[in-house]
Amino acid sequence: MTHTPGSGRVGQAAPVAATPWYRQLYVQVLVAIVIGIVLGWRWPDLATDMEPVGTTFITAMKMLIGPIVFLTIIGGIAGVADLKKVGRTGVKALAYFQVGTLVALLTGLVAVNIFRLGDGVHADPSTLKTSGDVGQYISRGEHQHWWEFLTGIVPDSFFGPFVEGNILQVIFLAVVFGIAIKMVGKTGEPITAAVGRLTEVVFKVLSFVMKAAPLGAFGAMSYAIGKFGLSTLTSLGSLIVLFYLTSALFVVVVLGGVLAVYVRLNIFQLFRYFKEEFWLILGTSTAEPALPGLMRKLQFMGAERSTVGLVVPTGYSFNLDGAAIYLSLATLYIAQATDTSLSLGQQLGLLAVMLLTSKGAAGVAGGGFIALTATLSTVGSVPAAGIMLIFGIDKFMSECRALVNFFGNAVATLFVAKWENGLDLERARAVLAGKAGEPPLTAGDETGHGTDGEIEGGTEDVRPAVPSPAARSAEVAS
């Protein structure tokens, strides 16, 4: 029995020949990353010319993120029977985001206090000259107020957020429209259906763009290595290593602990499940291209569509665990490097400021530096010009930030879904164990298997059924 498109019924997937390994997306992206590193190392001038290849792919992905977030949230809210559930989900998600951000900030703070890598640098802030983008980030950060992320949620026009790529404003519009469509009753039903069909079309366009993912990863990686050089990695290598190890510890111990204790799932199985998104983020240094795949795969795992549609996009702006670790670690490193003494009370005060400033630059280009500068400017005791000390290695830390942000939002969505009784735990375990096939490509796909390494999405909750233990026993017996 197979799934009938539009019926909402679920059947067992038909067997399909496995995709050859060399045609799987994550393999192609991995090969492209390796080629990009070699090109940047051996022929840096040629490698820097590859920048348009990477930026064009990322731009194409960003072009689709706004419509995908808008349509998915509207469809999720309009499809919920009780609007109170949407409110509960939103409040629980925001509560989790704040706790998660605080723990991430504390993790970075503890790490840099233990190893104190900035001691001995003795940098004189008056001799640090800002140049290029750094000057703009400092100027913008100094004028950044903690409350701007609240007032900035409301857009000046309907199309402005889509043009500017302001995801927070897109979320605001989507929530308002979703609630309005739900409240007008039958009048809104044709709109809900149209949203579903349009979502499927947008995901089909996404599948076209994703075919260029290996090229995008190649262009971005070759440019990074060619522009900054492998020597940059060695100049402040200890700080890079500390950030990566701290982030890995946070993901495995903190996020893995939350997933194991409360959700009862295995973080290492989750790593394997999201391997395509992992390599895509590593190649492009941003988590945005992986957002559609994250939403599609979480829904396939058994998380309610409305929960996924609300928590994931919101988390991409409010739940940035990797950025939080980076923010606290970088701030304390600059303080140590400039011989700025901070007491325990002052460091805890920094955490309170970071909880606000980390939200103030969400979704903004150079947001990490803007949030860092806003933090230093608000506190006043640590010189903002100190960010020049770490500007050169920021590119090599962005991949780690994006990966931690990605897995942080995956765990957050599963946590909130379980909290709201909106997670099919038996199904999630079967999916992570590889017993439920591959996530469906579109609502009309009856097999649930991908081809050519495509990453697409669907508008319906389409999941091939997982055979029950009794059915499996009967099958073995026969």
Residue type at 174?
A
Residue type at 315?
G
* Contact (Cβ atoms closer than 8 angstroms) between residue 389 and residue 376: no
Query: How many whole angstroms separate alpha carbon 358 and alpha carbon 401?
Result: 13
Burial class (CB in 10 A: 0-12, 13-18, 19+), 252: middle
Q: What is the Cβ-side half-sphere exposure of residue 297, based on CA atoms within 13 angstroms?
A: 25
Taking residue 186's Cβ as centre, other Cβ atoms within 10 Å add up to 6
CA angle centred on 386, ends 237 and 403, rounded to 5°: 50
Query: How many whole angstroms separate alpha carbon 206 and alpha carbon 57?
Result: 11
| Kind and range of the H or E run holding 70 | helix 51-78
* Contact (Cβ atoms closer than 8 angstroms) between residue 239 and residue 333: yes
pLDDT of residue 79: 73
Q: Give Cα 90 to chain centroid, integer Å.
A: 18
Quick one: angle between helices 275-284 and 51-78, nearest 10?
130
What are the pLDDT digits (tens) for 233-268?
A: 555 678 888 999 999 999 999 999 999 999 999 999
Q: Give Cα 156 to chain centroid, integer Å.
A: 26
Query: How many whole angstroms separate alpha carbon 305 and alpha carbon 75?
Result: 9
Q: What is the Cβ-side half-sphere exposure of residue 325, based on CA atoms within 13 angstroms?
A: 28
What are the pLDDT digits (tens) for 307-335?
A: 998 899 888 878 889 888 988 898 888 88
Query: How many whole angstroms separate alpha carbon 196 and alpha carbon 206?
Result: 15
pLDDT of residue 140: 54
Helical ranges in 158-304 per DSSP H: 160-164, 167-183, 189-210, 213-228, 231-235, 237-249, 256-258, 267-273, 275-284, 291-301
CA nearest neighbour of 377 among 153, 186, 140, 188: 140
Burial class (CB in 10 A: 0-12, 13-18, 19+), 120: exposed
Q: How far apart, in Å, are the Cα atoms of 245 and each of 173, 229, 234, 248?
A: 39, 22, 16, 5
Query: How many whole angstroms separate alpha carbon 155 and alpha carbon 165?
Result: 11
Cβ neighbours of residue 193 closer than 8 Å, sequence gap 6 or more: none
Q: Which two tokens stand for residue 422?
A: 């909106």
Residues of the chain with pLDDT below 50 are: 1-16, 360-363, 365, 442-478
pLDDT of residue 472: 39
pTM: 0.74
